[in-house]
């Protein structure tokens, strides 16, 4: 089982949307997430792929600020993370 498959199993559902922010510096991953999170249904998972170390802490902080749920962050095999966010509203 890959780390992404394990993440999907833990979240209980596959991501409804994957945002590829690999190679982009913060705050671009957060801007991309903020622009696209409303395109998925409530309670859906958005996976943000990012390799900027700031995203690892900034995306969960953004979730707390905006009242969305940071499900978990999973290491990607080639570096970076898949940061899973559940849309709350």
Catalytic positions? 26
Phi, psi of 23 (to 5 degrees): 85, -5
Q: Peptide bond preceding 27: is omega within 30 degrees of 0, i.e. cis?
A: yes
Cα→Cα distances 39→3, 5, 6, 16, 32, Å? 25, 23, 24, 9, 12
């Amino acid at each position: 089982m890959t780390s992404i498959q394990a993440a999907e199993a833990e979240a209980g559902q596959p991501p409804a949307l994957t945002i590829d922010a690999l190679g982009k510096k913060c705050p671009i991953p957060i801007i991309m997430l903020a622009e696209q999170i409303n395109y998925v249904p409530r309670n859906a998972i958005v996976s943000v792929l990012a390799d900027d170390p700031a995203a690892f802490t900034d995306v969960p902080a953004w979730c707390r600020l905006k009242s969305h749920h940071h499900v978990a962050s999973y290491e990607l095999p080639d570096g970076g993370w898949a940061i899973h966010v559940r849309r709350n509203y």
